[in-house]
Amino acid sequence: MKVFDYKLLAALNAIIENQSFELAAQKLFISQSAISQRIKALEEAMGQPILIRSQPIQATKAGEQLLSHFKKVQQLESELLPHLLPDKPASPLKIALAVNADSLATWFIKAITPAVENELIELNLIIEHEQRTLDKLRSGEAIGAVSTEAKPLKGYRSFKLGKMEYYLVSSPGFKEKYFSGGVTAQTLKMAPAISYDHKDDMHTKYIAQHFDLAANEYYCHTVKSSEAFVGLAKAGAAYCLLPSLQIIDELNSGELVNLCPDKILTRRLYWHSWVLVKGVNKALSQQVIRAGQALLS
Structure letter (DSSP) for residue 200: -
Bridge partners (DSSP) listed for residue 166:
243, 265
Domain range 164-266, CATH class: alpha beta
Q: How far is CA 280 from CA 80, 116, 151, 159, 229, in A?
A: 11, 10, 24, 18, 34
Q: Where are the domains of the chain?
A: 164-266
At residue 218, the pLDDT reads 94
Local structure of 150: helix, strand or coil: coil
Query: Where does residue 87 rank: exposed (0-12), middle (13-18), buried (19+ CB within 10 A)?
Result: exposed
Question: What are the φ/ψ torsions at residue 270 (nearest 5 degrees)?
Answer: -135, 150
pLDDT in 10s for each residue of the chain, 297 residues: 456 888 899 899 889 888 999 999 998 999 999 999 999 988 888 888 888 888 888 888 888 888 888 888 877 777 776 667 666 556 788 889 999 999 999 999 999 999 888 888 889 999 998 889 999 988 878 889 999 999 999 889 999 999 999 999 999 999 999 999 999 999 999 999 999 888 789 999 999 999 999 999 999 999 988 899 999 999 999 999 999 999 999 999 999 999 999 999 999 999 999 887 778 888 899 999 999 999 997
Q: How far is CA 36 from CA 32, 70, 133, 155, 158, in A?
A: 6, 18, 30, 31, 38
277: closest CA among 95, 65, 127, 13?
95
Model pTM score: 0.78
At residue 126, the pLDDT reads 94
Q: How far is CA 284 from CA 11, 34, 67, 134, 262, in A?
A: 29, 38, 22, 18, 37
At residue 1, the pLDDT reads 45
